[in-house]
Structure 1
């Protein structure tokens, strides 16, 4: 059930990806069942004193799926999810997918204009967000959006301890975890889905225009998780700290939260990447992998002096979401005592990463090579020179959602995405990103 307005890959291209094994025909909720079966008693999610095993995560997803169905969230409908990093955010996304609904992942920093736009574009029937977050009343904002919407009718809020959630359609207990008595104890079966369906929508990161919607399918995102986890060497003993917002492609699936779960590892969730809290979490949970933006890396490096932080468990620090200057890159490994991995990519697809065994000059001065052998790159310039980067591949969608006019400019007739990034390729095939024609950022709030 590809959502109306989603541009699918051409049939012959999709068939080639399946034959090559890139797309394996498994949906993300099905994969969660597999992960729970393989790693059930291991810790999946950590936030503060909260710890969920894989069994508990899968069960919470089942319970929330049932509760959302009881409250009228039907298969095929879209629901805006605007939650800070928390176990509830992971559970909500999987529960919506398991029930056949489509999450629309929005930054918690977005306000009424952006949420109104996203809800209208997707004809969202529901909103899941915090009651209040960092002093901002999300419940009241959602009510105002609903009042002007022809589709948005259900508001679910997560109230912090001691907060009143207001008079909306709040789930029992003021949070997204359903009491056992509200559902049958039997396992909730996955809604019949196809792996070519849109699993969720990510939002483009531009700062000067309303965000565009990027439909990611179960097939393409599952492949992204596998390929990036393999190149990072992720396994069950790894602990991944997620301090960047979970709605971002870097934090969610490069390999991020979902890739760590796919590998049987543990995800530690933080509300922000402030050095003190991040360093304490790394020491306490023995974190092995984390991802930050260049600006966060600078703050962490500046905080190292005198911090007395125990960061000895770290083996890889990923840096993405912006250009990493070579002089800053040179400070990472001696500063943190771990391996650097540069990551370049956007929610629209194409990920390039440096390999853990790359020579130092490649590590410091390039953004590495594509994660898939099926990724195709064109540089709109003579060989070796910088020009616009054009890409297509098994996890690069062929169009923005319901944007035919923009797609005519943003994609070539043969399906290459015009990224707007200026880049060049080294003789060894590594990508060097020189900048953008417009500002594109990862929201860090």
Structure 2
């Protein structure tokens, strides 16, 4: 097993095998018969072309062999930073075939984030697009390679400069190695198949090791719960590397059933509606902010969206009013609320749940062996119906973040429950309701932003003495970040602050969207900054500023 991975205790691993959850097959072994069974069926469509299951198998095999020729080997870590293009899927399966571990980065990540991924993992390669707007990923990779000796390979989707490999060429070029080389590779199904990224509260991201055993089961049980069938068609518009569109049931779960996946790099309503109409989309995954934008678009009635059967919503709570609007505009589509995390645990509302369960809850966990506790601040179980922090463990929930044993002591209970930081309660039906979170995160349209990460960067500004970043409510994104600062001297404008943070090379979605300059912070009874009071004060200020003038 890769050093730094926390294994499942043997008694639990044995139970999961006995119950058939774990098949002790690598993802490559899981998909080999699937590629053969559905060889002539369309598997994947993007803006460039469509691919059969045989095309995916053959293209990923060529790529896998060419990556082996470059010198990549089993357990090498590879930062993957690609948009919703078929090349991501081909690369994902190629890495599975050679036992390399993709790190599920986002195209929006910049040097600050990617350098941390490389440092934490000892990554051997980075795969990115050439440019996004005026941002040059090849320049970023070259800087990374100067600082991190482990980074041996730079691979580009697009116009590759000297010293870089073209991803498209690696896919299309006939390999010099024989296909039998892949058969000789041994992959431990208890090793990571992928590193997902945590939405943790600390400034340094955590790597979530999802093993071949648990990630395959994750997609199988999610597909079973959602009753995915071969004639279904999934539209992926959320970032493709995210856990939800990739594996819950996502690309993996749909392809396990021989279904079709359509990729869109655009979330513009026109493009989404056009894709649904053109491809007969039956399933789509959204976050509430995106669903609200789609439902409020005045052009929605111009398109034939009658094929749509399931709208799977995650990332944050969907308000009942949005559900009702969807029911009016898309009456044939079931909105399936879900709650999940890259760390594992999944809750889904079922299609046969009563109306009040659909409107108010995130349903139940998907596996019979998912274990859930709701606990108070002392780690004691709260009475039924009361709010507590979600602690969870099960056959697809991690037992520890990668390579951070000291952090794991606080993030997990001694008996292996993951302390999620999310607050939940059970309603009368026993289903779970999300009531907020204990973690210090801003949930901007489903993207979790660590307040501590941004606070540490703002504190490095020479005019800032103290800072507290808090969420403020937003009708479109759910929450946006407000930076509350106390200055040492002088003044600080919002533009000066954001320009300063952009110089720190962070993803733009992490930027504060409001600045409050203050002379003091409210304190809790323990002498800490009361972010609860700060949120309430700012919300009150915003409501007054938006009130009609007399």
Which category of TM-score, normalised to the shorter sequence, fits these structures?
Answer: over 0.9
Q: Corresponding residue for 1:320?
A: 314
Q: Which residue in the other structure is 2:373 paired with?
A: 378
Q: Is the 8 A contact 2:73 2:100 kept in 1?
A: yes
Q: Which residue of 2 aligns with 1:239?
A: 233
In the alignment, is residue 329 of structure 1 matched against residue 331 of structure 2? no
Alignment partners' CA distance in 2, 1:440 and 1:420: 13
Q: Offset at 1:58? A: 0.4
Q: CA RMSD in A?
A: 1.8
Q: Tell me if 1:299 matches 2:299.
A: no
Aligned-residue offset at 1:326 = 2.2
Alignment of 1:240-389 (within 5 A): 240-305=234-299, 307-337=301-331, 338-380=333-375, 381-389=382-390
Checking the alignment, whether the CA contact within 8 Å between 2:65 and 2:175 is kept in structure 1 is no
Q: Distance in 1 between matches of 2:235 and 2:123?
A: 31
The count of corresponding residues between Structure 1 and Structure 2 is: 439
How far apart are 1:324 and its partner, in Å? Answer: 1.4
Tell me what 1:102 maps to: 101
Query: Could you report, residue by residue, the CA deviation over 1:161-193 in whole angstroms, capped at 9, with x for unpaired residues?
Result: xxx321223137x55423126554778436211
Question: What do residues 63-98 of structure 1 show as CA deviations (whole Å, max 9, x unaligned)?
Answer: 000000100111221111111111110111111121
The alignment partner of 2:276 has SS state of helix
> How big is the shift at 1:254?
0.7
Question: Cα offset for 1:57?
Answer: 0.3
The answer to whether residue 186 in structure 2 is matched with residue 192 in structure 1 is yes
Alpha-carbon distance between aligned partners in 2 of 1:102 and 1:181, rounded to the nearest angstrom:
21
Indicate if the aligned counterparts of 2:64 and 2:95 stay in contact, CA closer than 8 A: yes
Contact 2:230 2:258 in 1 (8 A): yes
Q: 1:162-177 alignment to 2 at 5 Å?
A: 164-171=159-166, 175-177=169-171
Deviates more, 1:330-339 or 1:290-299: 330-339
> How far did residue 382 of structure 1 move?
2.6
Q: CA distance change for structure 1 residues 41 and 114 in 2, over 3 Å: closer, same or farther?
A: same
Unaligned runs of 5+ in 2: 376-381, 449-508, 510-550
Answer yes or no: is 1:216 the counterpart of 2:215. Answer: no
* Separation (CA, whole Å) in 2 of partners of 1:304 and 1:360: 28
- State the SS of the aligned residue for 2:441: coil
Distance 2:201 2:290 in 1: 19
> CA 1:304/1:350 → structure 2, altered by over 3 Å: closer, same or farther?
farther
What SS does structure 2 have at the residue aligned with 1:180? coil
> Match for residue 33 of structure 1?
32
122-131 or 189-198, which deviates more? 189-198
Q: Structure 1 residues 147, 280: CA separation in 2 closer, same or farther (over 3 Å shift)?
A: same
Q: Which moved more, 1:264-273 or 1:204-213?
A: 204-213
CA distance in 1, matches of 2:266, 2:436: 26
Is the Cα contact below 8 Å between 1:29 and 1:190 reproduced in 2? no
User: Structure 1: any 5+ residue segments left out of the alignment?
Assistant: none
Q: Distance in 2 between the 1:86 and 1:297 partners?
A: 22
Which of the pair has the greater relative contact order for Cα pairs under 8 Å at 6+ separation? Answer: 1
In the alignment, which residue of structure 2 is the partner of 1:412? 413
How do residues 115-130 of structure 1 correspond to structure 2 at under 5 angstroms? 115-130=114-129
TM-score, structure 1 length as denominator?
0.95
Alpha-carbon shift at residue 415 of structure 1 (Å): 0.4
Change (3 A) 1:204 1:91: same
Bigger-Rg structure (1/2): 2
